């Protein structure tokens, strides 16, 4: 099913397409795959499994209740079956680093998104006992690849961040932190920055 939205404002048109792609198997289990690119390597990260199409960390619980799924995750990490196709996706996007989230429909990769500043592995992930070996494997692989990248000579690098870039960063940080105080602080900062000059 495809939904089409179009709005016209001033002299431009904005179009958005949203498609639901049913990637569930015969048992009604959905899989959300993720894999990172670092340089010229694709590193398979994880598969979340659930009977709901929207998957976040709930996938850990479902796999714990159906441990046979961990065999599939193990094979995914060892065989890296979609590496060639995912590399084409990253190349088309012009990215040498990121994490792609995707599904597989009738044997073909269906990309959901590419995170250009992704979570890789945190201490919280390693606390999930059943998944810990898989997160550790991914962590070790991504660290190994990072260690092979060419490193510039030590020195000073100047970075210019436009004011609205700072605003976006602060907003993102506030939302991730979930702090009411921080959110108020960001709103006040934005009001000050965006206030018209007298």
> Which of 125, 130, 42, 39 shows the shortest CA–CA distance to 86?
42
Average pLDDT of the residues in 83-100? 95
Biggest CA–CA distance in the chain, Å, is 66
Highest mean pLDDT among 19-23, 82-86, 180-184: 82-86
**What pLDDT does residue 142 have?**
93
3-state secondary structure 170-194: HHHHHHHHCCHHHHHHHHHHHHHHH
User: Is 80 exceeded by the pLDDT of residue 193?
Assistant: no
Output 195 or 145, whichever has higher pLDDT: 145
Cα(3)–Cα(96) distance, integer angstroms? 32
pTM of the model: 0.67
Output 181 or 18, whichever has higher pLDDT: 18
How many CB atoms sit inside 10 A of residue 9's CB? Answer: 7
Average pLDDT of the residues in 139-150? 90
* 22-148 fold: D-amino Acid Aminotransferase; Chain A, domain 1 (3.30.470)
Report helix, strand or coil for 155: coil
Average pLDDT of the residues in 142-167? 69
**What pLDDT does residue 63 have?**
85
Share of the chain above pLDDT 70, in %: 64
The 10s digit of each residue's pLDDT in 35-74 is 999 999 999 999 999 988 877 655 567 888 898 999 999 9
CA distances to 118, 178, 182, 187, 190 from 173, rounded to whole Å, are 14, 8, 9, 12, 14
Output 114 or 52, whichever has higher pLDDT: 114
User: Is 50 exceeded by the pLDDT of residue 6?
Assistant: no
């Amino acid at each position: 099913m495809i939904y089409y939205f179009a709005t016209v404002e001033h002299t431009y048109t904005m179009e958005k397409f949203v498609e639901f792609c049913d990637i569930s198997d015969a048992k009604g289990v959905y899989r959300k795959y993720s894999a990172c690119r670092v340089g010229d390597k694709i590193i398979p990260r994880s598969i979340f499994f659930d009977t709901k199409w929207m998957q976040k960390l709930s996938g850990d619980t479902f796999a714990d209740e159906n441990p046979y799924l961990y065999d599939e995750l193990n094979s995914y990490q060892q065989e890296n079956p979609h590496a060639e196709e995912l590399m084409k996706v990253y190349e088309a996007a012009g990215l040498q680093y990121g994490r792609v989230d995707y599904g597989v429909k009738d044997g073909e990769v269906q990309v959901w998104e590419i995170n250009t500043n992704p979570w890789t592995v945190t201490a919280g992930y390693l606390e999930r006992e059943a998944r810990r070996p898989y997160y550790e494997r991914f962590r070790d692989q991504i660290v190994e690849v990072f260690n092979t990248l060419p490193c510039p000579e030590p020195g000073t690098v100047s970075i210019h961040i436009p004011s609205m870039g700072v605003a976006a960063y602060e907003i993102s940080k506030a939302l991730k932190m979930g702090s009411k105080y921080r959110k108020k602080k960001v709103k006040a900062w934005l009001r000050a920055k965006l206030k018209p000059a007298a």
